[in-house]
Amino acid sequence: MLFHDADGLTVRGHLQFGLNAVSESNLFWDLAATTAPGSGFDPDTSWLEGYIKPGLSFEYQLDTGAVFYGKLSAVSSYTWGTDAFDTGDNGATTLEEAYLAIRGDLGTGLSYDLSLGPRELTLGTGMLIANGATSGFERGALKFGPRKAWERAAIGRLSYGNITGTAFYLDPNELPSTDGNNELAGLDLRYDDPRGGYLGITYVDVLNSDSPYPQAAPGGVGAPTVTPGAREGTQTLGIYGKTNPFEGALENWAFTGEVALQRNDRIDLEAWAGRVTASYTFANAPWTPNVTLGYQTFSGDDPDTSALERFDPLYYQGSPSAWATGSKSASTYINSNVNALTLAVQVKPTQQDTWTLRYAHIRANELNSPVQFGQTTRVNIDGNVITGVDDAHLADDLFLEYSRIINRNTFLTAGFSISFPGAGNDNIIGRKADPWTGGFVNVVFNF
């Protein structure tokens, strides 16, 4: 929304809001009935959530040719009813973006972009640095997750041709109830080929953190050890890339690859993660079908070693189209001690309509080791305290999603998903667990 455009100054208004209706049945395969029978957790629930995000941005052309710009925005969100994490009828209003920045040219092909203040930042494909804020719980709007901006951010970019280097300092906008006082800094170097491919490398250093890490008990027998502040000092190096369009026999194919290594000498951490995908587009077929096959894996802690091998996914983009491990399972397992074989089939009957079917076969990398954060710690039939799972198969998830562009400002999305528990979950409750199902429909307005 253009408010002003004169004398080198442009001022725009921004407004986004949405409503989402969600229904879930047999949440988390009703594991709570076995692992936390006294909690009173209801595995069947429905709720409505909504948010509004108003904002104001400006750009001012300086006499030097540089552009001074900035943005101010906020998010107000609420959940009516009880959501999947047994929280509801609450919400909050928080500051979203509030940054000032300047960009310009240095000559000889060099350009710069410097900003200070809360804003969004995604690096690479969103494997490590993407989601700078947390929604849900006391803030409401769990599924929508409307907050994205980092609470504090200093970002500097220097570009030359198709190469961009980014230096950053970030403080995530965490929930007040679980604020880990995390601070991150690092570098990203990326080459974007004009034909569509890219290659990049990201380095992230956790400067400060109170966030704990769990570690498997020796031999996998006993409760996991939880070390407060273990994340501090964790360093991650990630490499990512995507191929350019091919010609000849590989025309319409695209391949991506990523790998990340983590180290923290203070706590003897050595972890790793990676993903590969292969995608084919039937460019001349009706509805332009696209098929993508992928495999992603995140190391877990080996209970037979004294070192810690559990991968810390940091602040990844957790949507099904990005780095979620499964559709339902992504609400249960973070990207640590899991792997998934994934398949996505997408068709577009019209330019406004998109149907996507996603499948994920999800497994644990390490048995008797924390999956998520060790919530499955329990006493087995022999009277031993154990954690994690004793069979690697966790679940098989199916997710059918429909998206409709109603007009240039209005977007509708609906979906149905079902998760069939694997033997790893069946063994926790001692019988074949029932599937977990759910659906949603939402409308988002963007001005």
Phi/psi of residue 176, each to 5°? -55, -35
Phi/psi of residue 367, each to 5°? -85, 155
CA–CA separation, 209 and 307 (whole Å): 20
Domain residue spans of the chain: 2-446
Structure tokens at 424: 């790893």
Fold of 2-446: Porin (2.40.160)
Burial 263-280 (b: 16+ CB within 10 A, else e): ebeebebbbebbbebebe
**Residue for token digits 């710069």?**
112
Structure tokens at 379: 């006493």
| Residue closest to 102 by CA, chosen among 61, 132, 150 | 61
CA–CA separation, 352 and 373 (whole Å): 40
CB 387 within 8 A of CB 216: yes
Consecutive 10-residue averages of pLDDT for the chain (447 residues): 95 98 96 84 96 98 96 98 95 98 94 98 97 96 97 98 97 96 98 96 98 93 91 98 94 97 97 98 96 98 96 95 94 95 98 98 96 69 76 97 97 98 92 96 96
- Residue 39's pLDDT is 85
Q: Give the pTM.
A: 0.94
Write out pLDDT tens, residues 404-440: 999 999 999 999 999 999 999 999 888 999 999 999 9
- Residue 383's pLDDT is 66
- The β-bridge relationship of strands 436-446 and 410-421 is antiparallel
Burial (0-12, 13-18, 19+ Cβ within 10 Å), 194? exposed
CA–CA separation, 330 and 323 (whole Å): 9
Write out pLDDT tens, residues 22-81: 999 999 999 888 877 888 899 999 999 999 999 999 999 999 999 999 999 999 999 999
